[in-house]
Structure 1
Amino acid sequence: MRATDKYFIYPNDVDNFGFDWGRLALTTAPEVNGATKFSAGVVFVPPGQGHSRHNHPDAEEIIFVISGTGEQMVEDENGTPDTRAVSAGCTIFVPDSRFHSTLNTGDTPMQLFVVYSPTGPEKMLREAPDFRIIPKEDLKAS
């Protein structure tokens, strides 16, 4: 293994976070490769699934739609939900502590690239009641 292997990471190279609504492959984070200013990864959401309204206290988030179609909700500064149809190529900015949710409305899996700044929200995901680890060995077999 080369020292720079931690800089080039595919979603199936790491254990994934599994949830009832999909999974997250955390590819950049302090525990993955020593990142200190942000964490990031790829989210996979099956058709008809999505994550419910939540927020990340003291962290901003960027969501980039890699593939698929869905509805993204981000509350405005007054707490009013703003829901929009999103598809590949759309970037969504979620301000610090703002509530948001995602739903895959298409008939194909939705892939998102997410960035949290600063790091930390990915640790809170482990507290979700439906959280489980999907070992990378299981991902490579499928």
Structure 2
Amino acid sequence: MIHVIDPFAVERPLWLGLDDEGHRRKVYKVVDERLRGAEFLTGGLTIFEPGEASSLHDHPESEEINFIVKGSGEVVTEEGERTPFGPHTFMYIPKGVRHQHVNTGREPLWLVFVYGPHGTLPAT
């Protein structure tokens, strides 16, 4: 069965990083084994307000691809290397590579994420 999904109709979006200043973001997970019965993929939309970032994290057993719908920012590696990105660009992150998404712009950053096989979202 094909699913057409409105991320904003998700019954309960997740807030990550609420207790960690600078790491607040809203996550609309729309695909995983529980939500859609996906065998291999987890995906959704993360919205970062200006100045907000994810924690430095990895997906130990999962490859990840991101698409930037709107906004701009940097992806930061564990070594501190910063690579800028803008709207309509993709990122590929190999499994186990620690990374951090940072909104360096003046508007919300909308980042679509897909990773597989399944893993967990960062806790912060």
Shorter-chain TM range is 0.7 to 0.9
Partner SS for 2:65: strand
Equivalent residue for 1:58, pick from 57, 61, 64:
61
Unmatched runs of 5 consecutive residues or more in structure 2 = 19-23
Between structures 1 and 2, the one with greater helix share: 1
- 8 Å CA contact 1:59, 1:121 repeated in 2: no
Distance in structure 1 (CA, Å) of the matches to 2:77 and 2:33: 27
2:27 paired residue among 24, 29, 35: 24
1:47-91, CA deviations, whole angstroms, 9 ceiling, x for partnerless residues?
Answer: 01011211111111111111001111245xxxx443111110111
Residues of 1 paired with 2:7 and 2:32: CA distance?
13
Displacement over 2 Å in runs of 4+: none
- Percent identity, aligned pairs only, is 27
Q: Distance in 2 between matches of 1:66 and 1:81?
A: 25
Aligned length: 117
Asked if 1 retains the 8 angstrom alpha-carbon contact of 2:61 and 2:119, the reply is no
What residue number does 2:7 align with? 11
Mapped to 1, the partners of 2:51 and 2:74 lie a distance apart of 11
Q: Which amino acid aligns with 1:116?
A: Y
Q: Over alpha carbons, which structure has the higher Rg?
A: 1
Higher strand share: 1
- 1:105 is matched with which residue? 104
